[in-house]
Amino acid sequence: RKEVEQDPGPFNVPEGATVAFNCTYSNSASQSFFWYRQDCRKEPKLLMSVYSSGNEDGRFTAQLNRASQYISLLIRDSKLSDSATYLCVVPSGSARQLTFGSGTQLTVLP
């Protein structure tokens, strides 16, 4: 199993839709998880941190399932500006460095 694995995408959804991405991780000892957003040709930026069972911030909800070792990101009422690549990030390895998933590309269509 890859250390961090994400839905392959791409996801093309209409404005106003609800979309969910999943991410699985292999390191059962991981305590914290992150979702980053990366716009085209820009640097990744932190979207949400997840330290317990989940986190909610406006239209964005992240959920953690430790038993199944996956985290999800739910986006409600999608906006055009939500179009980006969403990266799942999990500390892993002996040095607990951040390991990035390959990302899921989202395009919100008018």
Residue numbers of the site for other proteins (CB under 8 A)?
Answer: 31-32, 34, 41-46, 49, 87, 91, 93, 95-103
Cβ proximity to other proteins: between 46 and 80 the closer is 46
Joined together, the tokens standing for residue 70 give: 């996956």
Cβ proximity to other proteins: between 24 and 99 the closer is 99
Least distance from other proteins to the Cβ atom of residue 101, Å: 6
CA–CA distance from 4 to each of 76, 80, 102, 103, 109 (Å)? 24, 27, 8, 10, 28
Joined together, the tokens standing for residue 19 give: 């979309």
Least distance from other proteins to the Cβ atom of residue 19, Å: 21
DSSP state of 48: E
Cβ proximity to other proteins: between 70 and 100 the closer is 100
Query: Coil, helix or strand for 96?
Result: coil
